[in-house]
Amino acid sequence: ITLQEYDYARESPSKLAASCLLLALTMKNLGGWTPTLEYYSGYSAQDLHPLVKRLNFLLTYQPRDKLNTVRSKYSHRVFFEVAKLAPMDMLKLEKALTSC
């Protein structure tokens, strides 16, 4: 989704990937940002919080008429139906991020 949003072009790819991973971990309630993830990514959870919030906002307010083929592909069971996941409530996300 971020590939079509110019605002995300200035973010480093590694930081964007790390933020996506943290958001996914939080959305699926699979734990937080571990010391191992921090070591190998080079980012602390606090470094990623603003970008994670922006990504969740993008998921919440994305136009539904764009990227229908991608959404259809990732709605399939083979890809764990990730396109069907609902974005997190911003208050719940904030609470989850402060605990990691």
Comparing CA positions, the residue from 91, 11, 81 lying closest to residue 53 is: 91
Give residue-wise pLDDT tens across range 85-94: 888 999 999 9
Q: Place 63 in a pLDDT band, splitting at 50, 70 and 90.
A: low
Residue 73, both tokens? 């592909």
Give residue-wise pLDDT tens across range 32-43: 899 999 999 999
Q: What angle do CA 87, 92, 2 make, to 5 degrees?
A: 35
Segment 23-30 shows an average pLDDT of: 91
For the domain made up of 2-99, the CATH class stated in words is: mainly alpha
Say whether pLDDT at 66 is over 80: no
Secondary structure of 37-85 as H, E, C letters? HHHHHCCCHHHHHHHHHHHHHHHHCCCCCCCHHHHHHCCCHHHCCHHHC
